[in-house]
Structures are given as C-alpha cells and as structure tokens.
Structure 1
Amino acid sequence: MRHKAQLPLQTMNLIVGFMVWVILSSLLSFIIEDISITQQQAAWVTAIPVVLGSLLRIPIGYYTNRLGARMIFIISFIILLPPVYFISIADSFVDLIIGGLFIGIGGAVFSVGVTSLPKYYPKEKHGLVNGIYGVGNLGTAITAFMAPVIASQIGWSLTVQLYLILLAVFILANVFMGDKQEPKVNTPILEQIKGVYKNEKLWLFCLFYFITFGSFVAFTVYLPNFLVANFELDKVDAGMRTAGFIAVATFLRPVGGYLADRFQPLVLLMGVFLSLTVAATLLSFAPSIALYTVGCLTIAAGAGLGNGVIFKLVPMYFNKQAGIVNGIVAAMGGLGGFFPPLILATLYDITGHYAIGFMALSQVALVSFILVVWMYYHDRLIIADQVMKSTPLGMLVTDPTGKIIRVNPAFQELTGYQEDEAIGKNPNILSSGRQKADFYKDMWFEIKENGFWQGEIWNKRKDQQEFLEWLTIHAIKNDAGEIIQYAGIFSDVTKHKRK
C-alpha cells in the first residue's frame, strides 16, 4: 500500500518544490514596488533561483539512489525554510539574490522522483509514470496564478510566509507516508559519471532537455513581468496568462510520456522541435497579443510533450545509470531556463526588442530537430549492424558492379573466407561450377524483374569443399529506383538435404 502512495506523494512534493521555486518571478511586479531595482537586476532576480535548482539536480539524483526519496524530500524542505523566510523580509537587491539562490533547491527536487519512481513500475510504464510525476510542474502555475491574487490582498511579504506553512505540512507528510524500504543503489558518483560521460547520447539528451524544459522555465519566469511591461497588462491578468502557459505544458507532459510508451519516441521528438522552431520564429516578429498567445501556447505544448518524451528515452538508453543520467539531463534543462531571461533582457537593452532572442531559440530548436533525425537513422543503422553480426545466416553485400563490400561473421564461418579475403572480390569466388550459364542468366533476370531471387545453389568453400545453400538475393534501390547494392543471405542446407 505504501508503494502505491509514492507516485501521488512525490508528485505533490514536486508541486510544492516548484511552487517555492518561482516565488520571486511570480511576485516580482509587487516586489519592485517596495525594492527599487533595474530591469537588468530584475532579470537576475528571476534567473538566480534556476542556478542552484539546476546544478543540485545531479547530486540529488545520486543521493536519492543512496538515501531514498523520503529522506531527500524531508531534508530539502527543511533547508528551504530559512531562505523562504529571508525573502519575506528582504529589502534590497542583494537580499533577493541570496534568498533566490537557496530557494533553487525547490527546483532541484525534480531529480528525486525521476530517479525513485521507476523502481516501482515496469519499463513499459516508465514514460507515463515520469510524465505523471512531471505534472508537478503545475506548482509553478499555482504560484504564478495564486501568489499575485493573494499578494494583492495581504501584500507580497505575508504571501511568501504562507509557504513556510506549506513546507512544514509536507515535511510531516514525507515523515509518515514516505517509503523507508525503497531499494538503494550505492555505486560511487564518480564511477557512475565515468560510465556515462563518453556516451554522446547523454549530451544529446542534455541539449534536447535544455531546449524543452529550458523554454518552459524561461517563459515561466519571464512572462509575468514581460506581459506587464510590454503589453501593459494588469499584474493579476499577466499571472493568469502565465498560469495558462504552465498548465498547458504541465498537463501535456504525461501525454508525451504516454505517447512515447506506445510510439517511436524520436519521431515524436522531431515533431516537438519543428513546432518550437515555427512558434519561436512567429514570436521573433513581435506580433500582437493574440498571435503572441498562439506562439506561447505552441511552445508550451511542444515543451510539455518534449519533456515527457525525453524522460522515456533516458531509461531506454541508460537503464543501469538512470539516476545519475536523470540528474545530469535535468540539470541541463534547468540551466536552459537560466540563460534565456538574461539574454532577452540584455538584447532588449541593446536593440529595444526581443526579436533576436526568439529567433535564436528557433534556430537552436531547428538544430535539435536535425540531430534527432540523425539519431533516429543512426540507431536504425546500429540495429541493422547488430542483426548482421549476430545472425547465424551468412550475409554479404555487393556494390552494383558485383564487388563484395561487406560480409558478416557467419559468412566467414560458413565459407572459410575471412573478411579481408572477400572484400573487393566477386561472389563467384564461391562458385562450384555445377550451375550452368543459363542458371545465372535466369537468376539475374528474376532479380531484375522482381527485385529478388530465392532458391538452392551449390557453392564451394575456401577449402574447395562443396556445399548446398539456400540463397536469397535482394536488389537494394534508392528513392529514384536505381540499384545501389545487392544483399545475399544464405544458410548451409547440405545435411538437411541429405536427410
């Protein structure tokens, strides 16, 4: 029963952590009425919480494996109490920076669930489970919507202090409902990092999550103040619109995980990055509030689906090192939310608009799309290569002129010819001489007409021993219909024929 409680409990923990994480960005329009800061300083105040919330995801993912989710959530929420109170009594830019740095822990707890929860479910449900846990992003929407409403009634300082009560409640919830018996993994962190850092897929996933989760975080912290300053919206209205952005991204995250459990995740990711490319391009033209809303919601949808898909891919490729890889990928995603607000603010100071920043996002998303396409076809080639190496059937591939360009281990075992002896030769090195010219003439006529030939043929090994093989020859064509290769697959049926 306690095991079944972990998914809802940890999802609620993440909601609380993310609620705390975005206190400053959600209340900034109120705070700047009491604390005088520049536009550039405001960008730093909203970006700083992302730093610790990103970098701590790596050790938190690691220590979740060692100590369990229950202990990590309890410790994290206890540590959050002092900085939350400190922010509530802040009266300077420095105070906001110091408090903001430490409330980043609220965003770092993301690594806990993606490391812990897959232990309770079979692999075919990991995408959906991580997607449901990712609904914890809703915490940012709750704060973005509720905090301004409450602050307009009781002030931003008392609003921040209410979060102390919320943290205390969930500290107790984890004490009594957390799983003390969660399986632990005690592999040293350096050993885990050494096992994955050379794998290019780790860094590709980092880039992909940098874009999807980074765009989600960046828009979450940037929208409230931007909508007020650029479109002169009411602060509560800006908060509600930001909450809508967050809600779309959050609720589509489990949808992305669910779809990734059932369809090819990389194909889904291609669609995600194409949509981000188009939406960011639209935003770069500084459209009206209506088109701006369309662009933002498209980015929300792409970010939400992409976040769900990526955390299905991680355990697929890193089953044994999922904890540390989840931490690294999650950290890169968090950092993806740190830089854009600062870059946008700097570009605005220089150019007076945000067009270059949004265009940069569109181009990075386009590059990511190209990399996903490469990864998809690269994986297919690897699978084909593994099949060729592991099959007991002899296989050879020739160019259109008939020269052998590749053989597999089974070919070498069945014929006696090693790879270097076969490459560059014609398959007639195996000819036994039993088949007459008309036999080969009919064979090639059938290949030309039907694209393949299949039948029995007598061939000869390197040691001159004849054997009967069942042979299939396929003509491999390109999109223009031109033959670019021939592939032969055969097995020795001599013993079977004699019986």
Structure 2
Amino acid sequence: MNKSTGKIQLPLQAISLTMGFAAWTAISPLMPFMTDFEITEGEKSLIIAIPVILGSILRIPFGYLTNVIGARLIFLISFIFLMFPIFYLSIANSTTDLIIAGLFLGVGGAVFSVGVTSLPKYYPKERAGYANGMYGLGNLGTALSAFLAPPIAMAIGWQSTVRLYMVALGIMILANFFLGDKFEKKVKAPLKEQIIQVSKDYKVYLLSFWYFISFGSFVAFGLFLPNYLVSTFDLTPVDAGLRTGTFIALATVCRPLGGILGDKLAPLSTTRTVFIGLIIGALLLSSNHHIFFFTVGCLLVAICAGLGNGLIFKLLPMFYTKEAGTVNGIVSMMGGLGGFFPPLIITSVVASFGTSKPAFLFLALSGIIALITMFWMGKKEESVQ
C-alpha cells in the first residue's frame, strides 16, 4: 500500500466511523423529546442500552471480515443496512419499536472494528498508535448526535431529525463507493483457528478488561447522561445534550493523544497513570453529587477514558499482526459491552438506594483491579513498559 492511499483511507474511515457512531447513538439524545408515548425509567435504560448489544457482538466478525474482503465493502454494506433501522426509528410509536430499531442500530457501533483492522496496513508499526488514534476521532459521531439532535428536534421534531440521518448515510455510501480502497491487502485465515489461538493468550483477556472499563465508560456516559442530567439535575434536554456532547468530544479528542503518547512513551506505564486519573474521577462522582463536582468528575473520566482508549489500541499491534482483525474485534467487543451494563446498573442502584453513588464506586473499584493487573503484566512483558 502506498502512502498516498493511506492518506485517503485514514480520513475516509474516520468520517465513516463518525457516521456509524452517530447512527448508533441516535436514540439517547432524542429520548427526552419522545413525549408522544409513555416510557418508564426502566424502559428508558433498556432502550438506551440495547444498541450496544449488536454493536459489540458484531465487532468480532466485522474485524475478521475486514481482513478478508476489505474496509470498503464492510462500510458500504453497513451503511446500506443502517438505512432500514433509521427509517423504522423515525416512525416508531411504542417502546417495542424503539427496542427493535435500537438493536439493529448496533451495526453502527460495530464498524469500529473496521478501521482499527484496516488502517495499520497503511502505516509502519511505530505509527500504529497515531493511525488508530486519529481513526478514533470518529467517536465524535456520538458527540454530534448529542450536540445537534436536540436543537434540531426542537425545531422540526424528533421524527424528522431521525430522517436526516438517512441523508448523511447516503453521502457516506457514495464516499466509500468512490474513494474506498478496492485493492486493500487481504489477510485470510480461518476465524475459528484464530479465536482458538488467541484465546490461549492471557494478554487478550487483560486488554479486553481494560478496554471494557475505558471504552465502556465512554459509551455508557455518552448514552445515559442526556436522560440522567434531565431527570437528576432538572436540566433542559438541550443543555443536557450540550454537556453530554462536551464529555464525548473531550474523550474523543484525547483518544489520538493517547495513541501518540503510546508511540513516544512507555505505553503500559502511561496506561497505568491514566487509569489512576480515571479512578480519581470515579471516586469524585461516588462521593459528591453536587452539579459542579459531578461535572468535574465526568470531565476527568472523559480525559482518562479517551487517553486509555488510544493507549490500549497502541498496545494491540505490538502483540498481534496476523490475528489483528480477530483480536481487535474481541477487545472492541468487550469495550462496547462495557457500555451496556452501566445504564441498567445505575437505574437499579437508584431504585434500591435512592442515589447513583454506589454505581460510580463500582467503576472506581473496577479501575483499581485493572491497575493491579497492569502492574502484573508489566513484570511479564518488559518490552512494553
């Protein structure tokens, strides 16, 4: 692959990820506007979490298939498919409709595995952190939904706002058709054999656990914050959307910085430092629920989760080459699933204790466990210190 091709594919695939994530998280910022039918708090949590399921599980086959048939075809097929649940969402008139649409919108989250598998083919290994980090800017799609969907819904209604996603998807279908790399290097290896092989490697489990926490925090906060800020702090839907968008944008901008830091510094040691910051942010959220301290805690989690996401995907290419698509899929799947449980847990905790503080304490404890495993891995893998 020549350098000029890489320069085209990086922005194209990053913008494609942006569109995928925008579609994936379309429901959450619009939910405060869905007042034409009744939705209970428990149903809201389930509807918000549902898109994460398919968006996580499909990351393994998407990563594998990217190596087999190339990123261009995967993006094309994904965006054509997403047209259907987006349209169905625009005519939804019950919680069942929202759950069905949300499930299949998960395809938008699954496309994350495409770029992290494809783009390292265009860059030397020492620049893998940069490539994957810049691709990760596509997470801004979640922020775009949070920033733009509420004010547009105020002006034209939430159903018409959803239909605008179809226009954006159409543009990305054309972009990938004409600009996608038709001659991307293919890597063919039996998926079953790859899974069996990597399942014997302890590093896959640790990297998955770390990403479960860092990317899971990013996804979970992005999904539950709009409704949570409205119901807990009595903010307007537009204000809640702006605050959520700020969290997502900050975490997303920090992701490529994490990859670059991993290229220049000892990646594992840097990841440990970042997780200490995430633990502090979670402890702040669990100890004080004033809007100011809640905001500070959220911003600290955003910075550290974003840096951690970039650092973990800097570590992956250092350990895996031929199995990169499968491992990327496994790790990114676990990261996505990390965003599924928190909205449900928070709703359950609030119902049981009248406060969400214990849920944030659980995040801090998970970070502490991850930190311990990082020190243990550091003793076994001195080359990534």
What's the TM-score, normalizing by structure 1? 0.75
The question of 1:347 aligning with 2:349 is answered: yes
SS at match of 2:287: coil
Counterpart for residue 263 of structure 2: 261
Counterpart code for 1:57: R
- 1:4 correspondence with 2:7: yes
Are 1:41 and 2:40 matched, yes or no? Answer: no
Aligned partner letter, 1:173: A
Corresponding residue of 1:272? 274
Equivalent residue in structure 2 for 1:201, among 198, 203, 209? 203
> What's 1:58 paired with?
60
Per-residue CA deviations over 1:158-201 (Å, capped at 9, x if unaligned) read 00000011101110111100000000011110011111001000
Match of residue 23, structure 1, among 12, 23, 26: 26
SS at match of 1:34: coil
Aligned residue in 2 for 1:460: none
Q: Is the 8 A contact 2:82 2:107 kept in 1?
A: yes
Question: Can you list the C-alpha shifts for 1:432-467, whole angstroms capped at 9, x where unaligned?
Answer: xxxxxxxxxxxxxxxxxxxxxxxxxxxxxxxxxxxx
The answer on whether the counterparts of 1:23 and 1:160 sit within 8 Å (CA) in structure 2 is yes
Report the Cα offset of residue 350 of structure 1.
Answer: 1.1
- 1:387 maps to what in 2? none
Is the aligned partner of 1:307 residue 2:323?
no
Any residues of structure 2 matched to 1:94-493 within 5 Å, and which?
94-380=96-382
Aligned equivalents of 2:37, 2:208: Cα separation in 1: 37
Residue type at the aligned position of 2:7: K
Q: Is residue 24–residue 100 contact of structure 1 (8 Å, CA) maintained in 2?
A: yes
> Contact between 1:25 and 1:222, CA under 8 Å: does it hold in 2?
yes
1:2 deviates by: 3.7
CA–CA distance in structure 2, aligned partners of residues 283 and 170 of structure 1: 38
Q: Kindly indicate whether the alpha-carbon contact (under 8 Å) linking 2:55 and 2:110 is maintained by their aligned counterparts in 1.
A: yes
CA-CA distance at 1:359 after TM superposition: 0.5
Larger relative contact order, structure 1 or 2 (CA cutoff 8 Å, min sep 6): 2
- Alpha-carbon offset, residue 287 of structure 1: 2.4
Task: Say if 2:187 and 2:322, in contact at 8 Å, map to a contact too.
Answer: no
Q: Aligned AA for 2:183?
A: Q
Q: TM-score, normalised by structure 2?
A: 0.98
Partners of 1:379 and 1:237 in 2: how far apart? 46
Task: Point out where structure 1 has 5 or more consecutive residues left out of the alignment.
Answer: 384-499
- Paired residue secondary structure (1:284): helix
One-letter amino acid matched to 2:141: G
Q: In 1, Cα distance between the equivalents of 2:51 and 2:289?
A: 30
Between structure 1 and structure 2, the one with the greater Rg is 1
Gaps of 5+ in 2: none
Task: Report the alpha carbon displacement of residue 378 of structure 1 after superposing the two structures with TM.
Answer: 2.1
Q: 2:84 aligns with which of 73, 82, 85?
A: 82
Query: CA offset at residue 130 of structure 1?
Result: 0.2
Which residue type is aligned with residue 100 of structure 1? G
How many residues matched?
Answer: 381
Structure-2 separation of matches of 1:347 and 1:4: 47
Query: What is the CA–CA distance in structure 1 between the aligned matches of 2:289 and 2:338, rounded to whole Å?
Result: 24
Task: Describe the superposition over 1:108-152 as per-residue Cα deviations: whole angstroms up to 9, x where unpaired.
Answer: 000000000000000010001100000000000011010001000
Query: 1:49 and 1:77 mapped to 2: Cα distance?
Result: 15
* Aligned equivalents of 2:159, 2:10: Cα separation in 1: 33
Deviation at 1:240, TM superposition (A): 0.4
Q: Is the 8 A contact 1:286 1:354 kept in 2?
A: no
CA distance in 2, matches of 1:255, 1:50: 25
Contact 1:2 1:178 in 2 (8 A): no
Considering only aligned residues, what root-mean-square deviation do their CA atoms show, in Å? 1.0
Q: Return the alpha-carbon distance in structure 2 between the equivalents of residues 270 and 285 of structure 1.
A: 23
Quote the residue 1:388 is aligned against: none
1-structure distance, mates of 2:37, 2:104: 20
Structure 1 runs (4+) deviating above 4 angstroms are none
**Equivalent residue letter for 1:253:** R
For 2:346 and 2:200, locate their aligned partners in 1 and report how far apart those are by CA, in whole Å: 33
SS of aligned partner of 2:321:
coil
Q: One-letter code of the match for 2:55?
A: G
Check the 8 A contact 1:21/1:107 in 2, yes or no.
yes
Taking the aligned partners of 2:317 and 2:5, their CA distance within structure 1 comes to 24
Cα distance in structure 1, aligned partners of 2:288 and 2:89: 34
Give the secondary structure class of the aligned counterpart of 1:195. helix
Q: CA deviation at 1:3?
A: 3.6
Higher strand share: 1
Contact 2:6–2:123 (Cα < 8 Å) also in 1: no
Amino acid at match of 1:165: V
State how far apart, in whole Å, the 2-side matches of 1:65 and 1:330 are: 16
Among candidates 5, 11, 16, match of residue 13 of structure 1 = 16
Identical positions, percent: 54
Distance 1:228 1:17 in 2: 26
CA drift of 1:26 comes to 1.1
Cα distance in 2 for residues equivalent to 1:150 and 1:212: 30
- State the one-letter code of the partner of 1:26: P
Measure, in 1, the Cα distance between the counterparts of 2:194 and 2:50.
28
